[in-house]
A = this chain, B = another copy of it.
Amino acid sequence: MIKIGVIGYGYWGPNLVRNFCDCADTTVVAVSDLDPRRLQTLCARYPAVRTMTDYREILRDNEIDAVAIATPVFTHFNIAMEAIRAGKHVWVEKPLTRTTAEGEELINQAERRNLLLHVDHTFVYTGAVRKIHELVRSGSLGQIYYYDSVRVNLGLFQHDINVIWDLAVHDLSILDFLLESQPEAVSATGMSHVPGRPEDMAFITLFFHSNLIAHLHVNWLSPVKVRKTLIGASQKMVVFDDLETSEKLKVYDKGITLSLAENPDAVYKELVGYRTGDMWSPKLDTAEALQVETEHFVSCIEGREKPITDGSAGLRVVQILEAASRSMAERGRPVELTRSLTAAWSHS
């Protein structure tokens, strides 16, 4: 039984507590939050869990094996570093840190102490994304042409981070998982509509090797909620609509065909044709993503599985977030991404 301490009981913390409690191999022994009222709510539900306002009490508790950090982004680095130094395995909310430098240091420290640094890229553990991963990896889609996502809704405006760090981070973590490839450059544009606040809408283009391109479209100021991703490829194409209750994933047997044709001037010329076949919507695993993720977390601590969303995955996402913010400040000027050894894929 792995003993967990949860730091931060705001928006996401309650989901962590519930899942770590429901998991047969973990138990939540302590939860900290700055706000005592939140801890009261927790106590009503989970009378056996100890609560405190100072997370350092959790770090000092030798009985605790791992901590889950669900605090604001700017605090991730310090708390995670203290936790690693206290010998705890770490589960940290996305994005991993505010900067690449911070991310690299966390990874190094965890490695040195042989501790797990897990980043909560929740979407990677959903039935839909795991099915897309299966389709991409099996080669049945053919060569991937593009990933094109729209993730917009009304709210929730953040104080300290722009919409890229809040919403695009989801797609970046999905992309990192699906493509196992880091983009070469990023161009981003965006705008703030509330004086003194960070950008509330943004458009990000990622250039990968060859002709693979990704585009992320995020907005806190949309009258309607959209969660829709198109994946274009040479053999099949995928539409992922996360707001559909059933049929979240549709796989289209559609595409273009190229053929040589002799034109009137006796010059051979490539003709573009169109291919349309059946559509297929595979059944998805409906297990809650966090449940799948907590079980994976346990397996990684016990050495039975290699981590899927480890510190390196978190770092790669932070690198793109940094570059995108820089590009956005310059109205889309492309920013090249340099490869960091720390950010290399651990399982490839």
Report which A residues bind B (CB closer than 8 A).
Answer: 45, 47, 145-146, 148, 150, 152, 154-155, 157, 185, 187, 189-197, 201, 203, 205, 207, 211, 213, 215, 217, 219, 221-225, 230, 232, 237-239, 243, 245-247, 250, 252-254, 256, 258, 270, 272, 274, 276-283, 327, 330-334
Q: Which of the listed residues A45, A189, A277 has the most CB atoms from chain B within 10 Å of its own CB? A: A189
Residues in B with CB closer than 8 Å to A224 are: 230, 239, 246, 252
Residues in B with CB closer than 8 Å to A193 are: 145-146, 211, 232
The residue of chain B having its C-beta at the shortest distance from the C-beta of A155 within the complex is B274
Determine whether the beta carbon of A221 is less than 8 Å from that of B232: yes
Give the number of times this chain occurs in the complex, counting copies: 4
The residue of chain B having its C-beta at the shortest distance from the C-beta of A231 within the complex is B223
Residues in B with CB closer than 8 Å to A332 are: 187, 189, 205, 327, 332-334
Given contacts A187-B333, A223-B237, 4 further A-B contacts (CB under 8 A): A185-B331, A219-B232, A278-B283, A333-B333
Query: Roughly how many angstroms separate A157 CA and B331 CA in the complex, as a whole number?
Result: 29
**Other-chain contact of A330, B223, B237, B256, B334 (Cβ < 8 Å):** B334
In the complex, what's the smallest C-beta–C-beta distance from A327 to chain B, in angstroms?
A: 7
Determine whether the beta carbon of B217 is less than 8 Å from that of A215: yes
Majority secondary structure of chain A interface residues (helix, strand, loop or mixed): strand
Determine whether the beta carbon of A232 is less than 8 Å from that of B239: no
Determine whether the beta carbon of B272 is less than 8 Å from that of A157: yes
Q: What are 13 A-to-B residue pairs whose CB atoms are below 8 Å?
A: A145-B193, A154-B274, A157-B256, A194-B258, A196-B270, A197-B272, A203-B205, A205-B332, A217-B217, A223-B250, A224-B246, A279-B280, A327-B332
Determine whether the beta carbon of A283 is less than 8 Å from that of B277: yes
In the complex, what's the smallest C-beta–C-beta distance from A256 to chain B, in angstroms?
A: 7
Residues in B with CB closer than 8 Å to A330 are: 334
Determine whether the beta carbon of A256 is less than 8 Å from that of B194: yes
Residues in B with CB closer than 8 Å to A148 are: 201, 217, 219, 222
Known contacts: A154-B274, A252-B223, A281-B279. The answer to whether A191 contacts B213 by CB under 8 A is yes
Residues in B with CB closer than 8 Å to A274 are: 154-155
Query: Roughly how many angstroms separate A88 CA and B223 CA in the complex, as a whole number?
Result: 47
Query: Roughly how many angstroms separate A145 CA and B230 CA in the complex, as a whole number?
Result: 26
In the complex, what's the smallest C-beta–C-beta distance from A21 to chain B, in angstroms?
A: 10
**Other-chain contact of A146, B205, B221, B232, B256 (Cβ < 8 Å):** B221
Known contacts: A189-B213, A237-B223. The answer to whether A281 contacts B283 by CB under 8 A is no
Closest A-B pairs by Cβ, 5 of them = A187-B332, A223-B237, A189-B205, A223-B252, A331-B334
Query: Roughly how many angstroms separate A246 CA and B274 CA in the complex, as a whole number?
Result: 15
In the complex, what's the smallest C-beta–C-beta distance from A201 to chain B, in angstroms?
A: 6
**Other-chain contact of A281, B190, B243, B278, B334 (Cβ < 8 Å):** B278
Query: Roughly how many angstroms separate A327 CA and B193 CA in the complex, as a whole number?
Result: 25
In the complex, what's the smallest C-beta–C-beta distance from A38 to chain B, in angstroms?
A: 15
The residue of chain B having its C-beta at the shortest distance from the C-beta of A191 within the complex is B213
Query: Roughly how many angstroms separate A196 CA and B269 CA in the complex, as a whole number?
Result: 10
**Other-chain contact of A221, B152, B192, B256 (Cβ < 8 Å):** B256
